[in-house]
Amino acid sequence: MVLAAVKVRPESGARVGRNDVTLAFLVTVLMVIGTGVALEDDFAFSAFGGHRSWLPGPDGLAVVVVGSAVLAFRRIAPLLVFAVAGTSTLAYQAIGYRPEPLPLAMLVALYTVAVLRRPLVTSAAAAAYVFSFTLAAALRLLHVSDDQYYTALVSIVATAMLGYGVALGRARATLAEQRAAAMAKNQDDRMRAAVEQEQSRIAREVHDIVAHDVSVIVAQAAVARRVAGTQPKAAADALASIEAVGRDALDGLRRLFGLLRIEPERPGRKPQPGLNELPWLLDQVRRAGLPVELIVLGEPRPLPAMVELNAHRIIQEALTNSLKHAGPTRATVTLDYRAESLRVEVRDEGGEAQIHRPQETVGGYGLISMQQRATMLGGELHAGPEPERGFRVSVQLPVPEGTG
């Protein structure tokens, strides 16, 4: 049930409000006026109550006022207010006055109970009043006609149902608001996760492109500076290589920035690099001063674009680390095409800077980027110094069945 999912309770810290006081005053006035109007057996209206005149005496007036004035506290203690209002209604009739056309104060209190309490509590409260009313009439403590009894019973049932309907409507509205808030929060969490994932991907791409190309440019610039006076041709070749690498870096950055724009795919856009561009990457690294050998095991075949892209970036980052940290050395890149995976290994032989290599490499962003790429594809990456000399990066990337 909706009411079971949403607790219908008065707000914590409820207090007497101006509207409650106004309602209690109006009901009191109507009850005082209504004491002289009674529904007779022939449905005619009488301007007299019981054996008294149009207005009740002090005793009846006190009972009516008390039973109506307590409505100002109906939101704070609805059951207690209903008990007082119901008791005053029965007491007014027991004194000898004829019942009003409608016990308005008791009905307002019952409506409040139905709105603020669960249906079982409301049913129990209404049943208790009907039982008391019936018992008092059976014992001749109240002089009630059949029409008066039927009117009271119908008004009680109608008031309880009205209050239940209002409570049900409020509960459904509250539940709908809670569900909408939960859905909005869930959507916000998913959007935040997607944004963070995309930011991480772009950060990896920017790092891999910029770190590799800048490292190559720095190495080539160092070569050009050293041989500028003695080997002009070698210096010119180094500067040409710097120009080519710089253009490639700019092209890669433009491609990444293009991914951030929300616009249709433009024809002629350069695709993401794959293993088919690996020879060009190795040649670039060789020109930067790091001899690299490529070993291919198994039968080469086209792989999914994401596998080739991340394998290319891992090799690029590993060679960049070797170029920056290992000093004069040699490197080997191994591609092992297996049935359900691609194993990539990049190993260098170390150099004079080897003593500083583990701390600088393991603590940098490059290894984190490679680890994230492997994890994203469900692969495993192992990186660390070799037992004797050198550094090795090994990663195994799963290849989905039926691809390649």
| Global confidence as pTM | 0.46
Residue 337 confidence (pLDDT): 92
Which one, of 142, 166, 165, 162, lies nearest residue 154 by Cα? 162
CA-to-CA separations, 282 to 172, 216, 293, in angstroms, rounded: 66, 11, 8
Separation between Cα atoms, residue 52 and residue 57, nearest integer Å: 8
One pLDDT digit (tens) per residue for the chain, 404 residues: 555 544 444 444 456 678 878 887 888 778 777 665 544 443 344 444 444 444 567 787 888 888 888 888 888 889 999 999 888 888 888 887 776 667 888 899 999 999 998 889 999 999 999 999 888 888 888 877 787 788 888 989 999 999 999 988 888 888 888 888 888 788 778 878 877 777 777 777 676 666 677 777 777 777 777 777 788 777 777 777 777 777 777 776 666 666 555 554 454 455 677 888 888 888 888 887 788 999 999 899 889 888 898 899 899 888 888 877 766 688 999 999 998 999 999 998 876 555 444 444 444 667 888 888 888 888 889 988 887 788 899 999 998 765 65
CA angle in degrees (0–180, nearest 5) for 131-133-138: 90
Domains contained in the chain, CATH given: 2-184 (no CATH), 277-404 (3.30.565.10)
Separation between Cα atoms, residue 14 and residue 314, nearest integer Å: 64
Residue 388 confidence (pLDDT): 76
Residue 356 confidence (pLDDT): 46
Pairing of strands 391-398, 341-348: antiparallel
Residue 240 confidence (pLDDT): 77
Pairing of strands 331-337, 292-297: parallel
Burial group, residue 334, by CB count within 10 angstroms (0-12, 13-18, 19+): middle
Residue 257 confidence (pLDDT): 66
CA-to-CA separations, 96 to 45, 61, 92, 281, 376, in angstroms, rounded: 18, 13, 7, 107, 86
